[in-house]
Amino acid sequence: MVFLGIADWSTFLSGLLAFFALYLIISISLNIEMGYAGIPNFGKVLYFMGGAAFSGSVAIRAAAWIMHISGNVVGLDNFLIAGKLTSMLQSDIPASLALIAITVAVGGAVGGVLGYISIFPAIRLREDYLAMLLLGSAAFFQIFLGNYTPIINGTLGIGIPNFFAWAGSYSTVGATLLIAAFAVVVYVYAERLVRSPLGRTLRALRDNEAAAEALGKDTVAIRRNVLIIASIITGVAGALYTIYTGDTNPAIYDRVTWTFWPWLIVILGGVASNSGVALGTFVFVFLLQYIDATKFYLQNVLPFDVTWLEYLLFGSLLIVVLLLRPQGVLPEKPSHTLAKSEISKIIERPDGEKEG
């Protein structure tokens, strides 16, 4: 039954959840960098791309090694080998789980290394120079992946085995749940970070660096740690995306999808507000997925690709938000050190006892 233009609601909702979780992870990590630590990262796609490409490359090699398959796994036989490995892994749950863990770990490690490299410009340069440099580096890294064949076979990309093959027809659901679980972990971590002493230090550093330094905070070390943590998170997101789609290809890591959309989400939802970012992610991903699912109606009428309309729509949306509500839909609130329930308990206490 076609309802609201969507024929297959279960596929739609499953895709919605996967992309919601994925974009939540990336946007939260961007929010930690930009909203709390004040590092405007215009090269978000760099860490995502690194995590996704290298984890995919390692994943299929590791799988081939475990299953004793030889041959050029990232060459011409790649898709044959990936298919063969998928059928072998179907009955081998422990190996599948181990490979998932390896893939995620590689993604995080690569993201972390790239983050470590970006520290050097990030702590020295002013934000405009930094933005240009990171944007440029990301574009170059994409070209590098497209031309250096040993990693993911250049522009052709590689397929990796399906690590959820043992779940049968639920394999996509398995990958979706994996991303969702990680998104929950990241969200909880970000919320706890904001309420922790480190979170308060970060905001102090963002709002008045000189004052934070005068109070004895090592601003360089804090920035460095934040950038590495956020990069690791983004790298893992890349690995999860590779597991989810089952292939990796330089063409999919463009700056619109993985740098600009997360920025749009964070600004739409509210800079330095985790709940705002979650709301922004939901609104954005819902719109994106809905357009994707229904665009073939328009496609028959229009003499051009509907994807370009998405660019127009979301680009304009960002400018409108910046003009009309620069603080976002759910702006930053003073964060409470205690949980909300504790605070309401304190408020409900009889007069004279309000403290803490």
Partner 1 sequence: MSVSLTLTYITTKVPNFAQGALVTAGMYTGFALFSINKINPYESLPVSFLVGGLIAIGIYLLVLRPLSKRGAPIISLMIATLAVDIIFVGIFGIYSDYLYQVKEVYDAKLFYALTGADFTLFGVNGVAYAAPTALALTTVILYLVLTRTRFGLAMRATVENSNLAKVIGINTEVVYVTSWFIAGGVAAIAGVFYSFWLGGEPDIGSILLISMFAGSILGGLKSIYGAVFGGLVVGGSEIIVTTLGAQYVGSWVTAYEPGIPLLVMVVTLLVLPGGITSLDWRRLFSRGRQ
DSSP state, 36? I
Comparing CB distances to partner 1, the nearer of 195 and 295 is 295
CA distance 212 to 36: 14
Q: Nearest approach, Cβ of 322 to partner 1 (angstroms)?
A: 5
Nearest to 46 by CA among 129, 118, 124: 118
Tell me the helix, strand and coil percentages in the chain, rounded to 5. Answer: 75, 0, 25
CB 321 to partner 1: min, Å: 10
Type of residue at 3: F
Distance of CA 188 to the CA centre of its chain: 15
Determine contact, residues 154/147, Cβ cutoff 8 Å.
Answer: yes
Distance CA 323, CA 326 (A): 6
**Of 319 and 347, which has the nearer Cβ to partner 1?**
319
**Minimum distance from CB of 116 to partner 1 (Å)?**
16
Closer residue to partner 1 in complex, CB, 185/302 = 302
Minimum separation from the CB atom of position 112 to partner 1 (A): 21
Tokens for 128?
């405009």
Tell which residue, 20, 18, 29, 17, has the closest CA to residue 274. Answer: 29
- Shortest Cβ 304–partner 1 spacing (Å): 3
How many CB atoms neighbour CB 273 within 10 A?
Answer: 23
Rounded least distance, CB 81 to partner 1, Å: 25
Residue (23 or 187) nearer to partner 1, CB = 23
The nearer residue to partner 1, 38 or 61, going by C-beta atoms, is 38
276-304 in b/e form (b: 16+ CB < 10 A) is: bbbbbbbebbeebbebebbbeeeeeeeee
Q: How far is the CB of 245 from partner 1 (least distance, A)?
A: 22
Across the strands, what pairs with 159? 247
What is the smallest separation between the CB atom of 59 and partner 1, expressed in angstroms?
A: 26
Nearer to partner 1, 23 or 42 (CB): 42
Residues near partner 1 (CB under 8 A): 34, 40, 42, 121, 124-125, 127-129, 131-133, 135-137, 139-140, 143-144, 146-147, 254-256, 260, 263-264, 267, 303-305, 307-312, 314-316, 318-319, 322-323, 326
**Residue 67 identity (one-letter amino acid):** M
Q: Which is nearer to partner 1, 126 or 340 (CB)?
A: 126
* Minimal distance, residue 316 CB to partner 1, in Å: 6
State which residue, 224 or 255, has the beta carbon closest to partner 1.
Answer: 255
Q: How far is the CB of 184 from partner 1 (least distance, A)?
A: 28
* Cβ nearer to partner 1, comparing 65 with 129: 129
* Residue with smaller CB distance to partner 1, 67 or 156: 156
Amino acid (1-letter code) at residue 7: A
d(CA 332, CA 330): 7
**Whether 150 contacts 53, CB under 8 Å:** no
The string of DSSP codes covering 154-199 is GGG-EE---TTGGGGGGHHHHHHHHHHHHHHHHHHHHHHHHHSHHH
Q: Is 356 helix (H, G, I), strand (E, B) or coil?
A: coil
Q: How many Cα atoms are found within 13 Å in the side-chain-facing hemisphere of 335?
A: 22
Question: Position 73: which residue type?
Answer: V
